[in-house]
Chain A
Amino acid sequence: EAQVTQNPRYLITVTGKKLTVTCSQNMNHEYMSWYRQDPGLGLRQIYYSMNVEVTDKGDVPEGYKVSRKEKRNFPLILESPSPNQTSLYFCASSSTRTAYSNQPQHFGDGTRLSIL
């Protein structure tokens, strides 16, 4: 089954304690992305990756890091989490082989982070 898997689904932690949210896709997609969802703001892109070892900032990258060492994995790292990073996070992937932007993105089920 084609899917994007995020872990953990829920996490409550404290300010300053480094954490990593993992994301893995089994569709051999080149493009992967992280979004955060906040009430009234929709989803905003944090970082994206066009392929292995190629990453770039989205609209709200401050306080986050990513890496893309393998095609299937795209972890999101919060080096020193703060309360304003409390949010619902989604990982997504899509194929870029057609070189067009009309390929739909496949989303994971989300990770709800609470930073106290």
Chain B
Amino acid sequence: GNSVTQMEGPVTLSEEAFLTINCTYTATGYPSLFWYVQYPGEGLQLLLKATKADDKGSNKGFEATYRKETTSFHLEKGSVQVSDSAVYFCALSGNAGGTSYGKLTFGQGTILTVHP
């Protein structure tokens, strides 16, 4: 079945540092890939997505590129802010028409803390 593996956390950075959170996946066919962010006490919000190989999703300074050859979707940001402190989830959604259609498979989440 489908699976998502994220780098172990928590991650602690100083403001303006470079961020990478690794994400690799296992899936059949051509899944869609997502990064969700969860701020304290809130639900998950979509941060960015990519629906086919070599697509780059971007939002709020965050980027991730769908790499089919390495089955990866690493999240990056050039300069983090204190307000980026949150839990980040990598996820994939199965193919249309497949048994996993519409279902999101999540990684375990990575806690990011940014200090001033």
How far apart sit A31 and B31, CA to CA, in the bound complex (Å)? 18
A101 sits at the interface (CB 8 A): yes
Q: Which residues in A have their C-beta under 8 angstroms from that of B78? A: none
Shortest Cβ distance from residue B40 to the other chain A in the assembled complex, whole angstroms:
11
**Contacts of B26-79 to chain A: CB distance below 8 A:** 31-32, 34, 36, 41-46, 49, 51
In the complex, residue of chain A having the shortest beta-carbon distance to the beta carbon of B43: A107
Residues of chain A at the chain B interface (Cβ within 8 Å): 4, 31, 33, 35, 40-45, 48, 50, 58, 90, 92, 94, 96, 99-102, 104-105, 107-110
B25 sits at the interface (CB 8 A): no
Shortest Cβ distance from residue A88 to the other chain B in the assembled complex, whole angstroms:
10
Q: Which residues in A have their C-beta under 8 angstroms from that of B31? A: 101
Are A107 and B45 touching (Cβ within 8 A)? yes
Are A40 and B108 touching (Cβ within 8 A)? yes
B95 sits at the interface (CB 8 A): yes
Q: Which residues in B have their C-beta under 8 angstroms from that of A44? A: 106
Q: A43 with B104: in contact, given A99-B96, A101-B94, A107-B44 (CB under 8 Å)? A: yes
The number of chain B residues touching the other chain, given as a range, is 20 to 34
Number of A-B contacts (CB under 8 A): 65
Contact of B106 among A43, A100, A102, A109 (CB under 8 A): A43
How far apart sit A104 and B33, CA to CA, in the bound complex (Å)? 10
Q: Which residues in B have their C-beta under 8 angstroms from that of A99? A: 96-97
In the complex, residue of chain A having the shortest beta-carbon distance to the beta carbon of B29: A101
Are A33 and B106 touching (Cβ within 8 A)? no
How far apart sit A110 and B41, CA to CA, in the bound complex (Å)? 8
Contact of A42 among B32, B95, B106 (CB under 8 A): B106
Q: Which residues in A have their C-beta under 8 angstroms from that of B107? A: 42
Q: A48 with B108: in contact, given A90-B44, A101-B96, A107-B44 (CB under 8 Å)? A: no
Q: Which residues in A have their C-beta under 8 angstroms from that of B108? A: 40-42
How far apart sit A105 and B43, CA to CA, in the bound complex (Å)? 11
